Amino acid sequence: MAGVIAAEHLTKYYGRSRGVEDLSFEVAAGEVFGFLGPNGAGKTTTIRTMLDLIRPTRGRIQVFGLDPRTRGPQVHARIGYLPGELALYERLTATQYLDAFASFRGGVDPAFVRELAERLGLDLSRKISALSHGNKQKVGLVQALMHRPELLVMDEPTQGLDPLVQQQFYAILDEARERGTTAFLSSHVMPEVERICDRVAIIREGRVVTVSDIGDLKARALRRVEFHFETSVNGASFDALESVVAVEAHGDTVLLTVRGPLDEVIKEAARHTVVNVTTHEPSLEDIFLEVYRNGGEAP
Amino acid sequence: MSGLLTKTLRDQRRALIGWGIGLAVTALMYAAFYPSVKESAADLNAYLEKLPEALRELLGGDYTSPAGYLRSELFSILGPVLFLVFTVGAGARAIAGEEEDGTLDLLLSTPVRRRHVVLDKFVAMVVTATALAALVWVTVIAVGPPFDLTLPVLDVAAACLMLLLVGTAFGSISLAVGSATGHRALAYGVTGGFAVFSFVVNVLAPAVKALRPLRPLSPFRWYLDPDPLVHGVHAANVVVLVAITIVGLVVALLTFERRDLAA
């Protein structure tokens, strides 16, 4: 069976400026697929072609095996969408807004709407114009989830949410996944994608750089680890470790670039007296560099 | 009734109340002035006789009869202006307004076809405009008689119908420009400019020979001539104004179906 989403050589130009270029990927039923890239990489362009808000210049994208261009309503009925630049009807209250969208969708379970709002901590009685950015985002999330769609398409879903609400959203997403929901989520931050996705496509300047399992990506990811020891330490003993890519030692401080698990490094460091250790998540740039070093292909 | 139509009508409730009060007060004001105008109608008519033909056409001409007065005052200028501000605004906001606000993305992500969005918004505009026209009609026939401004109910209805039709014709043009381009200001500007041009051409054409060939292009040409307050509904005028409205709607449907939405 074809994937829930299948992009084939998807290309979109806005006049002469590039949206996406020759994008191909497939999202299988039931998986949570991350779409990772910096701003302007083409994430929103890809998402908007899925919903037929914009049309491909070349290539195609299919959702549930259907062309969104010709079968829009059938496709849309099965999707819950959260746009990256959320704009709501400011003059309505959250309840009025969600009621309107429920009516566009032919009705939803009101108990589920209340449950979602409660879990995300959204006051439904307030006027949307009076809501903070984070609370508007919650309205957007409820709107996308309330009809229990088979496919969630969300562009930067956690932007503006405080960490506790983010966790609540992840929990809701996990439950949806248990019901068999497929999800396509864009993000520009690696930790979020690591937390919630099974697979990830990394997109840069309109092209897919790699599609890989999140586990592979983590295993290959470079991390920077900084040890602060009580006394001066010679970096050479770290250099010998297989997982260590680079070492910089300045007196009692050792800065390591490590690929994959930290186990070896921690054990080596433990032979000295450790005052402090900090690790830095790999930035997107680090990941890109790493992917490019591998010839742009997942292993 | 679709959810979107219900919502759009509800959104227009405030506009309906505002424009309704405005139009009703305008009609009431003109009715209240009628007794004093009637007294000096002979003088006014004599004065009008001396004016250049174009200006006379603009002012409407005959103040001696209730029909002439109402036509000159309510239906020639202020009525259409108020009406057009509503319909052109509704047409521009329908697609282009929502697109510029960014709310159209989510609306079109629901199981609704683009053409149904255009149609529902068009129907909502027509329904609200019809309510406004009905209000003008009721006001004139209710408040007119105490001020001696008594007209056949059906003739007033005919004039209100023509007001509605000229209003929806321009509203439909505005909807078409907004749907084709996604720019609200452009829809206002193009339609507003065309309305002013049409109005001026229609008024000046009888006096200015060079403008005469342009006159049929003016929707206002098909609005009050022959005068519905005297002759009732003129079928050909109805056909032309409805045709303009339909062309605008079709252009809106076809162009909006084909293009990308602005991000």
A156 and A51 together in one domain:
yes
Distance CA B6, CA A150 (A): 27
pLDDT over threshold 50, residue A1: no
Confidence of residue A209 (pLDDT cuts 50, 70, 90): confident
pLDDT over threshold 70, residue A285: no
For residue A242, give the CATH number of its domain.
Answer: 3.30.70
Contacts of A189 (CB under 8 A, 6+ apart): none
Q: Rg of chain A over CA atoms, in angstroms?
A: 22
For residue B105, the chain A residues in CB contact (below 8 A) are: 48, 51, 53, 83, 87
* pLDDT reported for residue A298: 42
| C-alpha triplet B4, B247, B77: angle, nearest 5° | 90
Is residue A207 in a domain?
A: yes
Partner B contacted by A54 (CB < 8 A): yes
Selected residue with higher pLDDT from A25 and A245: A25
DSSP label of A5: E
Determine whether the interchain pair A103/B6 forms a contact, defined as Cβ–Cβ distance below 8 Å. yes
In the three-class reduction of DSSP (H, G, I as helix; E, B as strand; rest coil), residue A204 is classed as strand
- Of residues A17, A86, A15, the one with CA closest to residue A47: A86
Say how many domains are in chain A: 2
- Amino acid at residue number A139: V
| Residue range A42-55: mean pLDDT, rounded | 93
Distance CA B74, CA B80 (A): 8
**Measured between CA atoms, how close is A103 to chain B, in angstroms?**
5
For residue A124, give the CATH number of its domain.
Answer: 3.40.50.300
Is residue A73 in a domain?
A: yes
Longest CA–CA separation in chain B, Å: 64
Partner A contacted by B107 (CB < 8 A): yes
* Minimum-distance CB partner of A79 among B103, B109, B263: B109
A23 and A144 together in one domain:
yes
A264 and A193 together in one domain:
no
Q: Compute the CA torsion angle B159, B160, B165, B171 (nearest 10 deg).
A: 130
* pLDDT reported for residue A132: 94
Nearest-by-CA chain B residue for A96: B7
Q: How does DSSP assign A37-75, residue by residue?
A: --TTSSHHHHHHHHTTSS--SEEEEEETTB-TTTSHHHH
Q: Which residues pair with B113 in a beta bridge?
A: none
For residue A54, the chain B residues in CB contact (below 8 A) are: 260-261, 263
A248 and A133 together in one domain:
no
Q: At what angle do helices B114-143 and B3-11 cross, to 10 degrees?
A: 40
Partner A contacted by B108 (CB < 8 A): yes
A107 and A80 together in one domain:
yes
The pTM assigned to this predicted structure is 0.87
Distance CA B200, CA B211 (A): 10
**DSSP H or E segment with residue A257:** strand A253-259
* Minimum-distance CB partner of A44 among B108, B109, B263: B263
- Of residues B106, B57, B253, the one with CA closest to residue A85: B106
Mean pLDDT, all residues of chain A: 88
Q: Which residues of chain B have pLDDT under 70?
A: 53-62
- Amino acid at residue number A208: V
Domain-ending residue, one of A180, A213, A246 = A213
**Measured between CA atoms, how close is B1 to chain A, in angstroms?**
11
Partner B contacted by A48 (CB < 8 A): yes
Q: Which residues pair with A211 in a beta bridge?
A: A201
Confidence of residue A195 (pLDDT cuts 50, 70, 90): confident
pLDDT over threshold 90, residue A101: yes
Partner A contacted by B214 (CB < 8 A): no
Going from the C-alpha of A50 to that of each of A38, A159, B19, B73, B170, the distances in angstroms are: 20, 21, 41, 55, 35
A249 and A149 together in one domain:
no
A98 and A204 together in one domain:
yes
**Measured between CA atoms, how close is A143 to chain B, in angstroms?**
9
Confidence of residue A108 (pLDDT cuts 50, 70, 90): very high
| C-alpha triplet B37, B39, B44: angle, nearest 5° | 60
* pLDDT reported for residue B230: 84
Is residue A290 in a domain?
A: no
For residue B112, the chain A residues in CB contact (below 8 A) are: 73, 76, 104
Q: How many CB pairs lie under 8 A apart between chains A and B?
A: 69
A195 and A269 together in one domain:
no
* pLDDT reported for residue B67: 82
* pLDDT reported for residue B24: 87
Is residue A298 in a domain?
A: no
Q: What are phi and psi of A228, to 5 degrees?
A: -115, 115
Residue A56: cis peptide before it, omega within 30 degrees of 0: no
Is residue A292 in a domain?
A: no
Is residue A83 in a domain?
A: yes
A187 and A261 together in one domain:
no
Nearest-by-CA chain A residue for B260: A54
Strands A182-187 and A32-36: parallel
A255 and A176 together in one domain:
no
CA A89 to chain centroid, in Å, comes to: 26
Q: Rg of chain B over CA atoms, in angstroms?
A: 20
Determine whether the interchain pair A52/B103 forms a contact, defined as Cβ–Cβ distance below 8 Å. no
A199 and A249 together in one domain:
no
| Residue range A59-85: mean pLDDT, rounded | 93
Strands A58-63 and A79-82: unpaired
A203 and A226 together in one domain:
no
**Measured between CA atoms, how close is B25 to chain A, in angstroms?**
27
Partner B contacted by A241 (CB < 8 A): no
Residue-range definition of the domain harbouring residue A262 = 222-281
Q: Hey, of B12, B103, B110, B118, which one would you mutate to test binding to chain A, going by the most A CBs within 10 A of its CB?
A: B110
Is residue A42 in a domain?
A: yes
* pLDDT reported for residue A144: 96
